[in-house]
Homo-oligomer: A and B are copies of this chain.
């Protein structure tokens, strides 16, 4: 039963050279983590689904790899499946009913685009009248609510037309989509109770809460493990990849932000990757700006637009903000922000002017100034620190500092690291008021950058130092005695396993780039010597065992 072997898309095999290079990066990062006082933990590859689901948004839930329960899972769902086959029809009837209600009640139609909340409430109470609520079709209040929400969404999708105006095919397609989504979710919950880790942060939060009584806080942990995402694979984006995270939980001290900047500098300097830029921002600065321009309720839209400044330019950013409902007046107040430039200090001065009416903004400035001052005093080896008020990554998540590291300017590559502070890391698991701050290194991108710049040391791909040619049983045994001594000295040595033709064995050494070959024939055995051939220079030496060790070492 021969199969053409392959691996799943988005995954990779690593050959010896790639493993060695990856380990060089891992070991450098690990070494720095440890000198900074971080301690390693490891968590299981899969977690209970309820630990992961709902922590990364709807899109994240979709990208989590679910594991099928073992055993005869179908038994659990088969009745449900048959029942659900009828569900679609019922759903269609319900939808039409909602449509009819909306059409009949002109007040509903009028308020349609104005007030989502009241529309929702009115539809719901009208459906109730019709006794369609809590019947066979919907089996929970939540279910019912989400159907009404879908109805509203579907109508928005369908170019603002009410459902009776939609052609039947469109309704059917939409309902099919809703139906499949719902049924998948419902079945998945029943046949899958475990899921592969999506990042290291949520499992870490789970770990902290679960082991809180064993942990001495503040707890500085690092974790270097793979994560899995069912993302569409593309260049540089994989379905299995490593994350290298260091976090501290249990202290709000800004010295930690200072140390994380030093840590980035230490790691990239050790990797000889000079000239990286550590960009920093603060969520409080972003909140402050939104407050000043009167867009506090549109913080996400505002920062998403601002984040694009580098890519699309000032004019388009303003355009996008306008389209999101931020006022002309507000946007004009942003002008000093677009003009912000120069050193960290001069940008801070500029921000003070812009944010003088915002308490949050002032606090953000204070934090940034503290961090910048400390870093100036302590100095960085090869990296530089830069304030970037447009930086907003993971905004929903971070509450204070936001970090991102860019590769040196001569390399085209997205961020090679990032992180920030999140004030309520463990709240999702019921442990309140535990502040966390952490950073992450992007292994795959760092690998590509080091490769592009030729920064992997030659010694990284540690190979076999010496191959003994196999001339037959007696010679092989004599060789293995020497090899044993070489290995005890830490020299990677091996015997060609078969007494093949010498040319074949020499070719093997060449192809594997093994630098030395030892030839042991009858003469060498009788004189207790070893003929060493330097595969680069071609020179040959007749040596004693001790000389052999000294020469290769």
Contacts and interface: CB of A to CB of B under 8 A. Distances in A.
B42 A14 contact: yes
A68 B67 contact: yes
Contact of A7 (B43, B262, B492): B43
A477 B19 CA distance: 39
A187 interface: yes
A181 interface: yes
28 contacts: A4-B430, A5-B429, A6-B51, A7-B47, A7-B51, A7-B206, A7-B210, A8-B47, A16-B40, A19-B39, A19-B40, A19-B41, A23-B40, A62-B70, A65-B70, A66-B68, A72-B181, A73-B184, A74-B183, A74-B187, A75-B180, A78-B183, A251-B497, A253-B497, A253-B498, A255-B495, A259-B495, A378-B484
A480 interface: yes
B220 A494 contact: yes
A32 to B, nearest CB: 8
Identical chains bound together, number: 2
Given A216-B511, A492-B35, A226 B45 contact: yes
Given A11-B44, A13-B41, A497-B218, A487 B36 contact: yes
Contact of A481 (B194, B378, B497): B378
Contacts of A194: 8
A529 to B, nearest CB: 19
Interface residues of A, number: 112
Nearest to A370: B473
Contacts of A196: 45, 67
A20 B40 contact: yes
A386 to B, nearest CB: 21
A248 B40 CA distance: 33
Q: Which of A20, A44, A209, A258: most chain B CB closer than 10 A?
A: A44
Interface string A195-233: 010000000001101110010101011000010101000
A3 B50 contact: yes
A315 interface: no
Nearest to A218: B497
A487 B45 contact: no
Contacts of A253: 470, 497-498
Contacts of A230: 70
Contact of A484 (B15, B262, B477): B262
A455 B430 CA distance: 39
A15 B259 CA distance: 23
A382 interface: no
Interface string A173-191: 0000000110110011001
A194 B70 CA distance: 14
A476 B255 CA distance: 8
List the 3 closest A-B pairs by CB distance, nearest first: A2-B430, A37-B494, A11-B44
A272 to B, nearest CB: 16
A60 to B, nearest CB: 12
A126 interface: no
A1 B54 contact: yes
A541 B462 CA distance: 44
A530 B7 CA distance: 57
A387 B12 CA distance: 41
A47 B12 CA distance: 10
A67 B70 contact: no
A41 to B, nearest CB: 6
A13 B204 CA distance: 10
B70 A42 contact: no
